[in-house]
Amino acid sequence: MLRALSVLGARPRCRAPCQLPALLLLPARGRKTRHDPPAKSKVGRVATPPAVDPAEFFVLTERYRQYRQTVRALRLEFVSEVRRKQHEARAGVLAERKALEEAAEHRELMAWNRAENQRLQELRIARLRQEAREQEQRRAEEKARQAREAQAWAQLKEQEVLQLQEEAKTFITRENLEARVQEALDSPKSYNWAITREGLVVRPKHKGS
Amino acid sequence: MPRYELALILKAMQRPETAAALKRTIEALLDRGAIVRDLENLGERALPYRISAHSRQHSRGGYFLVDFYAPPTAVESIMEYLSRDIDVIRPNVVKHPLTQEVKECGGIVPVPLEEKLYSMKKRK
């Protein structure tokens, strides 16, 4: 018997593939399973149920009937209470009042939202107008500045042209070529001088060229 | 037209010949479409070294500066003409220094003198 019991611990658990009941069937030698055919000695055997005591039977049925009646009444009572509560929550007086209040609040909030949007829209419009004005101003300033610069540039160029015209009077042409050549030969120039930081010109004291 | 400067070294000659040479030079410039601004004489002086030009050696020369406006294409022909002229020792045409923009002087750059003394390559 112990050896039979020890097999319990050694067996690996495999619940999913095979369908064992919660309690493991103790395999004992010689016992029949339901799939085995009955024995020859049991041919013609009629199973007789045990005899019924009428008084006990009556008492039993009465008690069952009362029990079930009570339980059913309680159950119906509870179920009806729950359904009533649900109905009141869905369509009762309080619920309607609350729905009305919520609708009113919603309307109020929507109105506030619209007002807020309106206000922000006005602010936005004002801001955009301001920005447009500023941009216009900046553009105008930029144009003015460019115009001033162009004018200054034109004036500078004019000055340069006038100066060049003035200098052109001293240029050498074929007419005054001879005179200029003689004049140049008469007056030798020397660039061999230096200047101090204070602005004094320093020339070399020539001993010879 | 850009402004050029002709630094001319003429042979040491007598005054009329120098005048003739200058006149010839300036006329050549004017023929090539230049506008001569000014002619400066830096004097006749000893050259820094003996220069050979047109199979002759010179040790004295007259320095002249001609600043003129000319088209850039004419400079080459001017140089060619001046190199053929036997009275000219050395012609030089450069852009006029007054037209160059004045750059800010960056000061003396410190030079690593050690590198100049011996080579810094790694030796075994």
Q: Percentage of residues in chain A with pLDDT exceeding 90?
A: 72
Q: What is the DSSP letter of A1?
A: -
For an interface test with B, give the residue of A181, A183, A191, A209 to mutate (most B CBs within 10 A). A181
For an interface test with A, give the residue of B1, B6, B25, B38 to mutate (most A CBs within 10 A). B38
Tell me if chain A has a CB within 8 Å of the CB of B13. Answer: no
Distance from CA of A192 to the nearest CA of B (A): 10
Is the confidence at residue A9, as pLDDT, over 80? no
d(CA A73, CA A67): 10
Secondary structure string (H, E, C) spanning B41-68: EEEEEEEEEEEECCCCEEEEEEEEEEEE
Is the confidence at residue A1, as pLDDT, over 80? no
Per CB-CB distance under 8 Å, the chain B contacts of A178 are 19, 23
pLDDT band of A29, cuts 50, 70, 90: confident
pLDDT below 50 — which residues of chain B?
A: none
ipTM of the complex: 0.79
CA atoms within 13 A on the CB side of A144: 6
* Cβ neighbours for A185, distance < 8 A, ≥ 6 positions apart: B15, B18, B19, B22, B41
Q: Which of B15, B27, B2, B120 has the alpha carbon at shortest distance from B81?
A: B27
Per CB-CB distance under 8 Å, the chain A contacts of B19 are 178, 181-182, 185
Per CB-CB distance under 8 Å, the chain A contacts of B33 are none
What was the pLDDT predicted at A71? 98
Q: What are the C-alpha distances in Å from A94 to residues A81, A85, A101, A102, B60?
A: 17, 12, 11, 12, 128
Mean pLDDT of A111-117: 98
Q: Do A23 and A8 form a contact (C-beta atoms < 8 A)?
A: no
Q: What are the C-alpha distances in Å from A177 to residues A115, A188, B55?
A: 92, 17, 30
If phi > 0 it is left, if psi is from -120 to 50 it is alpha, else beta; for residue A129 that is alpha
Q: Do B64 and A184 form a contact (C-beta atoms < 8 A)?
A: yes
Retrieve residue A40's tokens: 């020859």
pLDDT tens-digit profile of A142-198?
999 999 999 999 999 999 999 999 999 989 999 999 999 999 999 998 998 999 999
Per CB-CB distance under 8 Å, the chain B contacts of A190 are 42-43
Q: Do B25 and B82 form a contact (C-beta atoms < 8 A)?
A: yes
